[in-house]
């Protein structure tokens, strides 16, 4: 091919540019949150609401009193809230792709991956806020984890990391589904049973055998147990390692799938 | 910019079918065609938004598929699809696009302010886009394309849906772009727009080029304006037609439902004779107008369907229903 490169033009974006573009896209995400704060409500309001509701609703029945139930519940709420927030990655991505602005991005000489990478970056921030809110709600109600502050940071990081991995799944679903609503529907359908079956709110050993089997096949179960173990005893156990392995497996499978679907569909 | 045998198929529908384009730098090239004729698909391929199924295109010597990232540094696209972020303000949109294009924070702010000023949007700078009028939206869309002056600008139907005042305003902006050295590829459904702006026009229908010429040549090939006569009495329709044919020497047609006669105008000077003649014969008119050739006529002439329904309103319907 006899292509001559006009001076000053690049054939591909440099890694520095990719990073810069990603940060700009994340900045755009921040501006969007500022403009439509109600979008952010679920991230903040949901953990508070569920913590209060479940504590007083189930506390007495399951653990005898609310304070001992908090020890059980907070790790569960942490996982539930952040995983729910991960759905927004896919929904937001689909909404963007359906709007005109995405095509504009693709006519600009920017790293093609930047819109996706920026969205994932901003989601990490959302997860962090959810984690902090959950802990604050728990602490306000009398939750005092034995693991202390370092365990709370560790558990938050673990759950954020796993949610980030899971957001690749939702990103993929977002790219292949036609509307944000469709994705939301699928996600609710999948996540509800998964969270309820993870031992986030009720101990698994009270379930019938067949349900216990299902619970042990559920990856979220390991994540909830790992967070619970770390928070309440300060120990990083097998479940912690298993959760991280599962998260890595998800990223290894879904990141390339998402990127490929994304490049094909945009 | 050159394209060779550009083709794009959706299912069994050939949206663009072997298009050859050759656009000279510094000119405005008009791509003229009705809805669904393949204009947007063509622009999307040239603007690296979708890959052609076959054929190739080069922009300033760079292949749009193999060197997409390079091409993107040379183009800007404005169209219904490549627009702005609805959820952000005008300033925020421009700043983000400027940052993506590599401007520093300060430079991005400065450039956004300049563009808003230039496009008369300063007052609306911080407002939600949902409060923008159609004209304001288009101006912002265009402003977002001009953050760095790209040498080639694609404008996909920049004035569709705009009122005449905003349309004229947009035309002035487009002319200024070319004066400043950019090349413009414009798509439009309006012959008048292509005529006003373009140095060269390609007429496309069902993904195929049916003409590629200067506006003057094109209009000359389409021919004439059409004289529309509406007699006061419908019973006089046929009489009017006969007199018109006799005096103007072209074949007139009657549209009974509209109660009017259309007759191609070869020589405008002969209209006086016809009017005098009609009065002498007691054929009184309630309305008289001259219609300039429209896109419909261009198509009818170029595609050779001209012998089909002669009623002008029928032409319009026929064209609209063309997939």
Query: Is A35 in contact with B87 (Cβ distance < 8 A)?
Result: yes
Closest approach of A31 to chain B, Cα-based (Å): 7
Q: Is residue A11 in some structural domain? A: no
- Please count the residue pairs, one from chain A and one from chain B, whose beta carbons lie less than 8 angstroms apart: 98
Going residue by residue through chain A, which has 266 residues, state the pLDDT in tens, using 9 for 90 and above: 444 445 578 888 999 999 999 999 999 999 988 888 887 787 889 899 999 999 999 888 888 888 889 999 999 999 999 988 888 878 888 888 888 788 899 899 999 889 888 988 888 899 999 999 999 999 999 999 998 999 999 999 999 999 999 888 988 988 888 888 888 888 888 888 899 899 888 888 888 999 999 999 998 999 999 999 999 998 898 999 999 999 999 999 999 998 888 877 76
CB A122 within 8 A of CB A26: yes
B129, closest residue in chain A (CA to CA): A35
Sheet holding B225-231, edge to edge: B253-255, B260-265, B225-231, B285-291
Q: Does residue A182 lie within any of the structural domains?
A: yes
Q: Which fold has domain B2-218?
A: Rossmann fold (3.40.50)
The answer to whether A107 and B75 are in contact (CB under 8 A) is yes
Q: Is residue A5 part of a domain?
A: no
Query: Per residue in B200-243, pLDDT tens?
Result: 999 998 899 988 988 888 777 666 778 889 999 888 899 999 99
Asked if A112 contacts A16 with a C-beta cutoff of 8 angstroms, the reply is no
Q: Which residues of B177-202 are buried (b: 16+ CB within 10 A; e: fewer)?
A: bbeeebbbbbbbbbbebbbbbbebbb
| Per-domain residue ranges of chain B | 2-218, 224-292
Bridge partner residues of B265 (DSSP): B225
CB contact, 8 Å: A5 with chain B? yes
Residue A4's pLDDT is what? 45
Least CB–CB distance from B86: residue in A13, A99, A107: A99
Count of structural domains within chain A? 1
**What CA–CA distances, in Å, run from B30 to A14, A105, B43, B187, B199?**
36, 25, 11, 6, 8
Q: Which of A175, A182, A187 is nearest to A97 (CA)?
A: A175
B69 vs A12, A28, A100: nearest CB: A12
Residue A26 C-alpha, separation from nearest chain B C-alpha, in angstroms:
10
A20 — contact with chain B (CB < 8 Å)? yes
Model ipTM value: 0.81
Pairing verdict, β B2-10 and B28-32: unpaired
Contact status, residue B86 vs residue A96, Cβ threshold 8 Å: no
Which residue range is the domain that position A88 belongs to?
17-265
Report the alpha-carbon distance of residue B143 to residue B136 in Å, rounded. 10
Phi-psi map region of B132: left, alpha, beta (phi>0 left; psi -120 to 50 alpha): beta
Which CATH class, in words, describes the domain spanning B224-292? alpha beta
DSSP characters over B24-92: -TT-EEEEE--TTSSHHHHHHHHTTSS--SEEEEEETTEETTTTHHHHHTTEEEESSSS---TTSBHHH
Domain assignment present for residue A8? The answer is: no
Range B239-253 average pLDDT:
87
């Amino acid at each position: 091919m006899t292509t001559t490169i006009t001076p000053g033009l690049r054939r591909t974006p440099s890694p520095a540019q990719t990073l810069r573009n990603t940060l700009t896209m994340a900045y755009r995400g921040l501006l969007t949150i500022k403009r439509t704060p109600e979008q952010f409500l679920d991230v903040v309001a949901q953990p508070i609401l569920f913590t209060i509701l479940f504590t007083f609703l189930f506390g007495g029945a399951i653990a005898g009193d609310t304070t001992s139930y908090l020890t059980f519940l907070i790790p569960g709420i942490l996982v539930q809230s952040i995983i729910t927030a991960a759905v927004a990655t896919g929904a937001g991505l689909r909404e963007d792709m359906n709007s005109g602005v995405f095509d504009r991005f693709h006519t600009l000489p920017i790293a093609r991956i930047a819109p996706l990478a920026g969205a994932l970056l901003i989601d990490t921030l959302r997860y962090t806020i959810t984690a902090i809110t959950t802990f604050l709600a728990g602490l306000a109600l009398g939750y005092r984890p034995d693991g202390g502050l370092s365990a709370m940071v560790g558990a938050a990081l673990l759950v954020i990391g796993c949610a980030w991995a899971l957001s690749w799944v939702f990103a993929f679903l977002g790219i292949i589904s036609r509307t944000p609503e469709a994705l939301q529907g699928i996600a609710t359908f999948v996540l509800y049973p998964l969270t309820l079956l993870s031992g986030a709110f009720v101990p698994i050993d009270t379930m019938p055998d067949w349900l216990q089997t299902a619970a042990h096949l559920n990856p979220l179960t390991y994540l909830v147990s790992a967070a619970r173990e770390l928070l309440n005893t300060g120990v990083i156990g097998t479940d912690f390692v298993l959760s991280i392995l599962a998260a890595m497996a998800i990223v290894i499978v879904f990141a390339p799938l998402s990127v490929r679907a994304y490049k094909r569909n945009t | 910019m050159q394209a060779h045998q550009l083709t794009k198929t959706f299912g069994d529908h050939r949206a663009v079918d072997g298009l050859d384009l050759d656009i000279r730098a510094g000119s405005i090239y008009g791509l003229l065609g009705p809805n669904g004729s393949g204009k947007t698909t063509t622009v999307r391929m040239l603007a690296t938004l979708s890959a052609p199924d076959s054929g190739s295109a080069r922009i300033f010597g760079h292949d749009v598929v193999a060197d997409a990232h390079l091409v993107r540094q040379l183009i800007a696209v404005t169209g219904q699809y490549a627009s702005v972020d609805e959820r952000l303000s005008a300033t925020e949109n421009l700043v983000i696009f400027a940052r993506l294009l590599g401007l520093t924070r300060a430079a991005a702010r400065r450039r956004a302010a300049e563009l808003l000023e230039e496009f008369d949007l300063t007052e609306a700078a911080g407002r939600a886009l949902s409060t923008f009028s159609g004209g304001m939206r288009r101006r912002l869309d265009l402003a977002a394309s001009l953050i760095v002056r790209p040498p080639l600008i694609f404008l996909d139907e920049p004035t569709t849906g705009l009122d005449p005042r905003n349309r004229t305003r947009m035309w002035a902006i487009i002319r200024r772009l070319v004066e400043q050295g950019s090349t413009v590829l414009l798509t439009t459904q309006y012959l008048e727009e292509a005529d006003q702006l373009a140095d060269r026009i390609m007429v496309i229908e069902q993904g195929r080029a049916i003409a590629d010429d200067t506006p003057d040549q094109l209009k000359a090939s389409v021919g004439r304006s059409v004289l529309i006569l509406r007699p006061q009495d419908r019973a006089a329709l046929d009489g009017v037609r006969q007199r018109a044919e006799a005096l103007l020497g072209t074949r007139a047609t009657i549209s009974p439902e509209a109660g009017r006669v259309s007759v191609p105008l070869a020589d405008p000077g002969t209209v006086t004779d016809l009017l005098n003649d009609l009065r002498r014969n007691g054929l009184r008119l309630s309305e008289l107008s001259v219609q300039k050739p429209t896109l419909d006529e261009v198509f009818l002439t170029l595609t050779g369907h001209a012998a089909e329904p002669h009623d002008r309103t029928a032409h319009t319907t026929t064209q609209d229903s063309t997939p």
